[in-house]
Amino acid sequence: MGTGKPGRHRAVFLDRDGVINRNVVNPATGECESPLAVDDFEFAPGAFDAMRELQVAGFLLFLVSNQPNYAKGKSSLEVLGSIHEKFLAGLAEEGIGFAAFYYCFHHSQGKVAGYSGPCECRKPSPHFLFRASDEFDVDLDRSWMVGDRSTDVECGKAAGTKTIFIHAGQTATEIAAQPDGTAPHLSAAVRLILNSE
């Protein structure tokens, strides 16, 4: 694991579900969560323009996403892979490039052998941010983590980045960690990032 040492590149680490794409209601639980089928995957309004602005401003883009549905027995790895392919196709069509995609498929209370129990990569662990710092020479002190859960904020703080919490109808007081900023959606988060330059 890396140490978060300073590097040359600024980066924005993005959670996926609830930030880049819409969460969906799981009819079995009634809760909003990540898509369980390819047809349920839909980019959030304004997400493409927001990511493009970051790219034009010179930020490297990274995806850092917890995807426990396979570990929980809710989905197959094949379906999760197909959702990622749809995600990639949308990015390619819009000319948006990510430096890397980091997915954690584990869950501490999972049902699937090999994907259950503790792991080093599930947020709030900063494992993937440190990895990006090592592999892409990212300066974490000049970078951002953007997500819609407390674990995203905690992850960014542990790695030494600035953090933005996407509240999407929640209030900022509902998260345990204190982000550097809050925003209702990714477009507003990008405005905060670019205005801080």
What distance in Å separates the CA atoms of residue 128 and residue 134, rounded to the nearest whole number? Answer: 10
pLDDT at 1: 44
Q: Are 119 and 104 in contact (CB under 8 A)?
A: yes
Inside any domain, residue 24: yes
- Total number of domains in the chain: 1
Residue 62 domain-assigned?
A: yes
Distance CA 34, CA 25 (A): 8
What pLDDT sits at residue 184? 95
Q: Is residue 5 part of a domain?
A: no
CATH code (residue 144): 3.40.50.1000
Tokens found for residue 90: 């949308």
- Does some domain include residue 57? yes
Going residue by residue through the chain, which has 197 residues, state the pLDDT in tens, using 9 for 90 and above: 444 454 589 999 999 999 999 988 877 777 788 898 999 999 999 999 999 999 999 999 999 999 998 999 888 999 999 999 999 999 999 999 999 999 999 898 888 888 998 899 999 999 999 999 999 999 999 999 999 999 999 999 999 999 999 997 555 555 667 999 999 999 999 999 999 97
Residue 1 lies in a domain: no
**Three-class secondary structure of residue 82 per DSSP:** helix
Token couple for 154: 């905690």
Task: Provide the pairing of β-strand 32-33 with 60-66.
Answer: unpaired
pLDDT at 169: 57
Per-residue model confidence (pLDDT) at position 24: 86
Catalytic residues: 15, 17
The residue segments making up the domain with residue 187 are 11-195
Q: Is 189 a domain residue?
A: yes
The answer to whether residue 127 is domain-embedded is yes
> Is 32 part of any domain?
yes
Please say whether the beta carbons of 62 and 97 come within 8 A: no
